[in-house]
Structure 1
């Protein structure tokens, strides 16, 4: 077979067949979550009072909300013949603002009486500094079923003074109802694989690991407890012995070790910050790179005149990590390294996903 001879100046970028791998096994809990165990968002409208003249009382939604609150507390506001309050009486109020209030119920749920922190965002006010959130009804995500799950009130803190229109009420959202996030349905649980690890290979490996652990003596053709539905979901039957003990079963399930989980090959570049993140196993094709005064070969064998057959099946495969380290050792600017990586991907010489942020 004819060999092509290359004269290489600069630095040789070696391949890495034996790149280091972490031999420690991850648990199922490290890569999956239970369907049903998700965060839920509560939201509502409220009033912030006590502002320093930075409110939005000239907005009619604010004055209408304020009028209803004053009337509900026994305050006196003149009304017309139809009972509509006279909003002009409230136009001079400059220390009140209408805000959107949001709170997050944890994936494990929340019990009546739990105190959650909530965020407040001004709809028209210039600043919420020094304000206090007056009682706000917190509703669930379904507009067609307006259920009150919590009440929110308390002093507003500004985490970022440069954004005075957004604040936080620490532990100001009190749960008025219990929210339980169930995870067993029809005597089954569904595991959802982390999206960064989602693949048919990983889903099949997880299915096999669960079945090997729960059914060590399973024979060919026997009904399996775990079934991969796609690259993201694995359905698992709750064994009869755990039908009334779902928590011990989930603990047993999530503690299963996974020897073969595979991470998707990905390179993430943050251009603004000049950050490059990659795995050790991101491969590239053997290539020759000319960059300004440098000539760099990735792949082949080190030396002056070297024999290099890119079609050989035994040709070692170079690794992107080594190339990047060599470029940095030569003080190649980060923006040029990023440009080289993008060119490799565009040319089809980088095996993996390239994410530009």
Structure 2
């Protein structure tokens, strides 16, 4: 017991010292590269009713009618059989929220409320108590409160409408109360697993090496391009201390692979700094062919047997814009590529064609991604 207490005190003493250790160039904290497995938020969803609307509700939507019957039944009120209330002041909604890791009963969550049917606006509405369920269909929170709606919708008698933002959705800050905690299992699992946000073998190896250097042992090992397994003693307190120390370790992540991103719809081209060009020559010209039609009316001679006719007259012109050939030297960088493309006056669409041709010619060793 005394050994364990001494170890905890040592961890607490060393934790603030990690910020003072000289970090490598372009270093990033491990906590910014990924997350520990199991320590993540969970999505919650619920179906509810918003009341108190100024005539902008669902009116005759069956979902809202059945939902309102369920609400009033909680208070011992039963609506007459076959009679459906006109619910212009109520709307059926879907309620969503994120349950953060380690959330405890009694904590508050922000919720988003969105109209399910034809409700025109949720402004001024109040959400009736709604159960929020997880993927396992268990209730983890209860939501209720007044909506904050940033949108505005106004309609006139002649059918004209004015809408600002989205009035059919709103938020309730702190509108849900956590009723059940989610077990993460991080304190009882045989090992801790750190998962990178982006798969990279080199970065995974560097994360494991950084952890081993910090603790002076071989407790961390990269199991694949995403996961790093870390041996840890059982117990929440010891593991929390170790996780806090690991998160603040700084390493130099691997350079991103060479990529060229092309958005064909907007003409946007993004080239990262890892793209290099092998020796190549590029000539980009523009050929314009114009065909003009000028039909003429031909009249016959006076007192002749001829008829008025339409005579076709066409003119074809060819114009070729001459642009210089650009020579890319071996190892050309991103700045060289941009400078050369701008020199020949290429548009974003022309740049896409040039990059595709360079890749086909084997002069550009990069992944070409077309969105």
Normalised to the residue count of structure 2, the TM-score between the two structures is 0.71
Residue equivalent to 1:303: none
Give the 3-state SS of the residue equivalent to 1:58 in structure 2. Answer: coil
Q: How does 1:10-49 map to 2 (within 5 A)?
A: 23-49=25-51
Pair 154,327 (structure 1): closer, same or farther in 2 beyond 3 Å:
same
Residue equivalent to 1:9: none
How far is the alpha carbon of 1:288 from its aligned partner?
1.5
How far is the alpha carbon of 1:248 from its aligned partner?
1.9
Pair 296,234 (structure 1): closer, same or farther in 2 beyond 3 Å:
farther
Unaligned runs of 5+ in 1: 1-21, 79-85, 217-223, 301-315
Unaligned runs of 5+ in 2: 1-23, 153-163, 286-321
Pair 170,244 (structure 1): closer, same or farther in 2 beyond 3 Å:
closer
Residue equivalent to 1:237: 231
Match of 1:294 among 303, 317, 323: 323
Counterparts of 1:185 and 1:349 in 2: how far apart (Å)? 53
Counterparts of 2:106 and 2:253 in 1: how far apart (Å)? 44
How far is the alpha carbon of 1:28 from its aligned partner?
1.7
Q: How does 1:183-332 map to 2 (within 5 A)?
A: 183-195=186-198, 198-215=199-216, 224-238=218-232, 244-259=237-252, 261-292=254-285, 293-300=322-329, 316-328=330-342, 331-332=345-346
Q: Deviations over 1:120-151 (max 9, x none)?
A: 222212323322222211111223xx324332
The number of residue pairs the alignment matches comes to 300
Q: How does 1:55-204 map to 2 (within 5 A)?
A: 55-78=57-80, 86-90=81-85, 92-106=86-100, 108-130=101-123, 131-143=125-137, 146-158=138-150, 161-179=164-182, 181-195=184-198, 198-204=199-205
Counterparts of 1:260 and 1:121 in 2: how far apart (Å)? 41
Counterparts of 1:46 and 1:157 in 2: how far apart (Å)? 17
Residue equivalent to 2:309: none
Counterparts of 1:199 and 1:93 in 2: how far apart (Å)? 55
How far is the alpha carbon of 1:208 from its aligned partner?
2.6
How far is the alpha carbon of 1:347 from its aligned partner?
4.8
Q: Check the 8 A contact 1:110/1:180 in 2, yes or no.
A: no
Residue equivalent to 1:304: none
How far is the alpha carbon of 1:321 from its aligned partner?
4.1
Normalised to the residue count of structure 1, the TM-score between the two structures is 0.74
CA RMSD, Structure 1 to Structure 2 (Å): 2.8
Q: Check the 8 A contact 1:34/1:190 in 2, yes or no.
A: yes
Counterparts of 1:104 and 1:177 in 2: how far apart (Å)? 13
Pair 155,260 (structure 1): closer, same or farther in 2 beyond 3 Å:
closer
Instruction: Identify which range, 169-178 or 38-47, moves more after superposition.
Output: 169-178
Bigger Rg, structure 1 or 2 = 2
Q: Check the 8 A contact 2:341/2:351 in 1, yes or no.
A: yes
